[in-house]
A and B are shown apart, each in its own frame.
Chain A
Amino acid sequence: MTDQLLYAQLLYGGSGIILVLLGLWSFLVHAPLLRKLIAINVMGAGVFLILVAIAYRGIDTPPDPIPHALVLTGIVVAVSATALALAFGKRLDQDAEPE
């Protein structure tokens, strides 16, 4: 393994880990639903970054296709979960208004 490959993987993977931690912190500390939702999405972005870093094999070899496919799956699941959570939040707000 060349040094350059290792540095690239550690840079991307490390950024992913930092994103996961920032998202987790915001998720634990902030009460509003929307902030929690954004925090979960930031955590998800961190996980995708880690997976992409693991898949990287340098410029000469093709990247590992399996983590890439997992990231595609993850993006779709994250989008649909976010949409559902936003719809729940909107409905909660609507029902709370008349009180």
Chain B
Amino acid sequence: MIRPLEHIVIPIGLIVVGGLLGWSFFLAVTGEAGDRLASVALARVPDSGVSNPVTSVLLNFRAYDTLLELAVLLSALLGIWSLGAAGPGFQPAASILDGMVAGFVPLLILSAGYMLWVGAYAPGGAFQAGALLGAAGVMLALAGHRNAGLPCESRLRLLVALGVFVFAMTGLLLMVLGDGFLTYPPGLAKWLILIIETAATLAIGATLAAAYLGGRPAAHPTSGETA
């Protein structure tokens, strides 16, 4: 049976919307290139303390954007925790998976460190590194570690707030010193970005792994399950 709304009205509406989107996209890419932000951003990359343009936009030119992004991540996790405790989701893994996890988790942590460092001059950075750490946590959770390798709740709370805290404190400190919120002095920019990115990596990794658990983690992880 044909339902008119589902099979006629919505598809036709979507085709019209798609045509408009495609047309405006075509005009956007073929149109006369006016003053683009890209040239301004690329010209200032050498002043930003890092040589990777994407990192310099994320951590310097648009740093407050990234700060708020970390806040979004944190508030999503607080929302998840407010819904109750995490269920005992997984059985202890078979020995083959356990052995694989034992090999892969250190590799993931190592790659996260590399990603964090390489972000200054090539694709990489805090979010990619944090995603790798989060993946390590998810692997541990799948292999039956009840807390996904995360520390006990009080320390975990410090860890997930670390990114926003270090970021905001750096900004406020610079403001007190007279440079303006998150306006790095040129000589220090590289180190400030590295400090912020390290804190953000740890916070993002912990937040992603904790979000995967789907609730507040156990207050006292039983011995042998803290990795």
Cβ of B41 < 8 Å from any Cβ of A? Answer: yes
Q: Which residues of B contact A76 (CB under 8 A)?
A: 69, 72-73, 127, 204
Q: Is B94's beta carbon under 8 Å from chain A? A: no
Whole-angstrom distance between the alpha carbons of A66 and B11 in the complex? 33
Interface assignment of B195: CB less than 8 Å from any CB of chain A: no
Is B84 a contact of A91 with CB atoms below 8 Å? yes
Inter-chain contacts of A9 with B (CB < 8 A): 29
A84 B76 Cβ-Cβ under 8 A: yes
Interface size on A, residues (CB 8 A): 39
Q: Does A38 contact B (CB under 8 A)?
A: no
Contact in complex: A87, B41 (CB < 8 Å): no
Quick one: given A1-B30, A69-B58, A72-B58, are A88 and B83 in contact (CB under 8 Å)? yes
Query: In the assembly, what is the distance between CA of A80 and CA of B65, in Å?
Result: 16
Contact A13 B29 (CB under 8 A): yes
Return chain B residues, CB-CB under 8 Å to A25. 10-11, 14
> A62-B42, A69-B54 are contacts. A10–B69 as well, Cβ < 8 Å?
no
**Which residues A42-88 have CB closer than 8 A to chain B?**
50, 53-54, 57, 62, 64-66, 68-69, 72-73, 75-77, 79-81, 83-84, 86-88
Cβ contacts under 8 Å, A57 to chain B = 38
Closest to A73 in B: B69
Q: Please tell me if B21 contacts chain A, counting CB pairs below 8 Å.
A: yes
- Count contacts between A and B, CB distance < 8 Å: 112
Q: Are B28 and A54 in contact (CB under 8 A)?
A: yes
Docked complex Cα distance between A77 and B72 (Å): 7
Contacts of A79 in B (CB 8 A): 208, 211
A18 to B22, CA, bound (A): 9
Bound Cα distance from A80 to B41, whole angstroms: 28
Across the interface, B22 reaches (CB within 8 A) one of A14, A68, A69, namely: A14
Q: Does A39 contact B (CB under 8 A)?
A: no
A62 proximity list for chain B (CB < 8 A) = 42, 53
Q: In the complex the two chains form, is B10's CB within 8 Å of A17's CB?
A: no
Our pick among B38, B56, B65, B214 for the contact of A64 (Cβ within 8 Å) is B38
Interface contact A68-B54, CB-CB below 8 Å:
yes
- Name the one of A29, A65, A66, A86 contacting B214, with C-beta atoms under 8 angstroms: A86
Q: List 4 A-B pairs, minimum CB-CB distance, nearest first.
A: A80-B76, A65-B53, A64-B38, A83-B211
Which residues does B use to contact A, with CB under 8 Å? 6, 10-11, 14-15, 17-18, 21-22, 25-26, 28-30, 36-38, 41-42, 45, 53-54, 56-58, 62, 65-66, 69, 72-73, 75-77, 79-80, 83-84, 125, 127, 204, 207-208, 211-212, 214-215
